[in-house]
Chain A
Amino acid sequence: MAEIRLEGIRKVYGGMVVAVDDMSLEIPHGEIVSLLGPSGCGKTTTMRLIAGFEDADAGRIYINGQDITRWPPQKRNMAMIFQFPVVYDTMTLYENIAMPLLTLNYDKEELGRIVDRTCDNFGIDKSMLSAKARKLSISERQRLSLAHAFAIERNLNILDEPFSSIDPKSRIKLSQMVREIQKERGQTCIFVTHSQSEALTLSDKIAMMRDGKLLQYGTPDEIYSRPKNRFIGWFVGNPGMNFIDCKIQRKGGNLVLATPAFVALERIPPEYSKRVTGERAVTLGIRPENVLLSEQEREGYIPCICDFTERVGSRLLLNVQLTEDVNINLKIPMTQSVGVKDRVYVRFPEEKVMLFDDKTGDVL
């Protein structure tokens, strides 16, 4: 049972580069939390601070309420799985799995049972247990190092890009195994990745980071559907959210959202109407799958020209030009047929629209 808490963690390299800045995060027991963000966002440093490979310049780290900020790594009882699996070539598979258990004084029978169960969990062929690890492929090695980490309960399993060097087929199997075993055993995990797909697939919660700061902490669905700023809306999703710079203007008695060329929304979406009460600049955000498309002219639809089309699974991705400098992406079912240079009409349903501050990019 372990719950991890970070409180105002800060790490500066060389007195200049702020790698992690005032990071606070609570990881409940038994959950997988992903640290997600582009290269240089501070996710790896955060992980190293939790593991104890780096000392924080400020802030505290707690395990189950106990302050471990100054504890050395070996005392923290955490396992780490790296991108390139650490396996002892000259040892047998059995020894590789059993090694972390040797210091814990299990009797031989109990040890055998744990190794046995671990093999079942990770699909390791038991007839191979006495073979040397040298001959394993990279995905088998990673399986072995995961088995090694998950063999006993620890405070935390830290997975650092564990699937990046594994072929796509085995990657899916392996991430599925990790998810099942982690849930079954109720182990707490931190998962560091730059892949939105892996984060969305595996996590209970995602900590979205940029420039050393925690931008948003929530379930995959919250991160995807309610991004707290435009960067997250753009980073998560394939392709990311569309953004259109608009002005809120008074028209008649109403406030409308408009660009110089078209009216994007006839009124402020109700959920924003309390916070947006006067004329100002805003950024409208909408996901490609939420834009409505019509092949005929219709009331409330904006005319545009299709610039290109691309097939994505069962959907068609369209890029359409609304004005000289406004292009947006749409995802529509394959049943609608639209070609390049076709004139089409789009609408932004108000319940799917998000409004962001035009300067900070934060959601209003």
Chain B
Amino acid sequence: MDRIVLDNVSKSYGPKKALDNISLEIEGGTFVCLLGPPGGGKTTLLKLIAGLEQPDSGKIYFGDRDFTNEPPNKRDVSMVFQDFALYPHMSVFKNIASPLYAKKLPALEIERKVQEVASFLRIDRFLGRKVTQLSGGEMQRVAIGRALAKEAKIVLFDEIFVNLDYKLREQMRVEFKNLVDRLSITTIISSPDPEDALSLANKVALVHEGAILQYDEREKVYNEPADVFTGAYFGYPEMNMIDCSVVMKNGQLLIDADSIQIPVRRNDTVAAGAYVLGIRPESLLIGETLSTPIVIPAKMIFTEVIGSDTIVHIAVGDHTLEAFVPGIHRTVSHESIMAGLDPKDIYLFRKDTGLFETRGV
């Protein structure tokens, strides 16, 4: 399968720079998630790959061939839109068949291909229905069916899980993952939700303010986020970020964030200076007695139950931190508690540049 190469690509809408000189190389067969807040350039990036937009400068290659100026129908790409963009007055069959009608295939072949895709997606029962009679999950499958019928090797999905209620999203993520696993295609989804990136993709590209902050294996982005923004954004709940300084005290380096003091065990991991200390909510333990190397007194502020887990907001000195605790918990506000963490789980970013320095000290 061909790789996709974007080489120094820029795109502006009027005075607004949607993408500013980005380069990206995606190997064939990869499942990539473009992750980032709304308005960062994710959809523009997809549209450029699909050929629905032309770059102002830069080149786009599929394999070694320059496709920069080729129209969408010459590209081996199909795209599924956030609102699915189905034809409401047409049947499920005709919606799926629409790219095949455009290719002017014989009726029998269209029939066969639609049946094949529909049974693969388990929507063959609905082929005669109008799409307005379908649920959100079924409409998503029809939209995917239309993209697959085209038999493109690259399929783009633009924020298809947004605006769905959480139960539907939960089911659709599972179905979607199973589906992509069975296909041999290059898949690119865009999403503002780190959970989509965490649960679905092999590789993650952080797209923010027209730039790609990091493109790497999912685990690598999680463990070594390129900068403060990426670290905070890629994770749910967001990483706790605290300004701190690394200082030498009695021949020992120490991370000093007022109420939080963490000795640096190996002096070669980090130099003295100003940093941002990152603590993932799942690395911050709370309880009455803790066995972690660092234990700090804290006060409960508020508990927030998310599905089957709880985010506990605590005050440690002047800092407000979030801890992720499995299960449903209710706490008394202002109650005293201990917070614990292991220095091997912390992140340090440089204060001046925001860039990643190290994980674990």
B324 / chain A contacts, CB cutoff of 8 Å = 313-314
Q: How far is the CB of A231 from chain B (nearest CB, A)?
A: 11
Report which of B178, B237, B301, B327 forms a contact with A308, defined as CB distance below 8 A.
Answer: B178
A195 / chain B contacts, CB cutoff of 8 Å = 166
Query: How many A-B contacts at CB < 8 Å in the complex?
Result: 81
Given A194-B165, A235-B167: A312 and B333 interface contact (C-beta under 8 Å) = no
Cβ of B236 within 8 Å of any chain A Cβ, yes or no, is yes
Encode B279-291 as 1/0 by CB contact (under 8 A) with A. Answer: 0011100000000
Asked if residues A331 and B308 are in contact (CB atoms below 8 Å), the reply is: yes
Asked if residues A238 and B174 are in contact (CB atoms below 8 Å), the reply is: no
Asked if residues B328 and A224 are in contact (CB atoms below 8 Å), the reply is: yes
A200 / chain B contacts, CB cutoff of 8 Å = 305, 328
In A227-263, the 8 Å CB interface with B consists of: 234-235, 237-240
Asked if residues A319 and B328 are in contact (CB atoms below 8 Å), the reply is: no
Cβ of A288 within 8 Å of any chain B Cβ, yes or no, is yes
A38 / chain B contacts, CB cutoff of 8 Å = 165, 167
Asked if residues B165 and A172 are in contact (CB atoms below 8 Å), the reply is: no
Closest chain B residue to A312 by CB distance?
B309
A288 / chain B contacts, CB cutoff of 8 Å = 308
Asked if residues B165 and A238 are in contact (CB atoms below 8 Å), the reply is: no
Given A38-B165, A172-B313: A315 and B303 interface contact (C-beta under 8 Å) = no
Q: How far is the CB of B171 from chain A (nearest CB, A)?
A: 9
Cβ of A221 within 8 Å of any chain B Cβ, yes or no, is yes
Closest chain A residue to B165 by CB distance?
A194
Asked if residues A239 and B170 are in contact (CB atoms below 8 Å), the reply is: yes
Asked if residues B326 and A289 are in contact (CB atoms below 8 Å), the reply is: yes
Cβ of B307 within 8 Å of any chain A Cβ, yes or no, is yes
Encode A266-284 as 1/0 by CB contact (under 8 A) with B. Answer: 0000000000000000000
Report which of A172, A287, A310 forms a contact with B302, defined as CB distance below 8 A.
Answer: A172
Cβ of A77 within 8 Å of any chain B Cβ, yes or no, is no
**Given A176-B301, A238-B166, list of 5 further CB < 8 A pairs?**
A194-B165, A221-B328, A239-B170, A239-B308, A313-B309
- Chain B residues within 8 Å of A, Cβ to Cβ: 165-167, 170, 174, 177-178, 181, 195, 198-199, 236-237, 281-283, 301-309, 313, 324, 326-328, 330, 333
> Which 3 A-B residue pairings sit nearest by Cβ, starting from the closest?
A238-B307, A314-B282, A200-B305
